Structure 1
Amino acid sequence: MAADGSQVNEIFARFQAADPHPKTELRYKDTFTLLVAVVLSAQATDESVNRATPALFAVADTPQKMIALGEAGVTDKIKTIGLYRNKAKNLIALSKKLIEEHGGKVPAAREALETLPGVGRKTANVVLNVAFGQPTIAIDTHIFRVSNRTGLAPGKTPLIVEETLNRVVPDRYKHNCHHWLILHGRYVCKARKPECWRCIIADICLFEPKTAAPA
Structure 2
Amino acid sequence: MSEPNSLEPYSLDLAAGLPQMAAAPTTPRQLLRYARILKTAAGFAQRQFDTVSLSDVSTRAHVPLGTLYRYFPSTVHLMLAVYRQQLRELNDAKPASSRCSQQELTGLGMEIFHMRVMQPAVEHCLSRTWDTRDGDIPVLLRDIEALSAEMVAAAIGDAGRARILLHVISGLVQSVNCRRISLFDAEKDLKNACKLIADA
* Structure 2 length-normalised TM: 0.27
Structure (1/2) with the larger helix percentage: 2
* Structure 1 length-normalised TM: 0.26
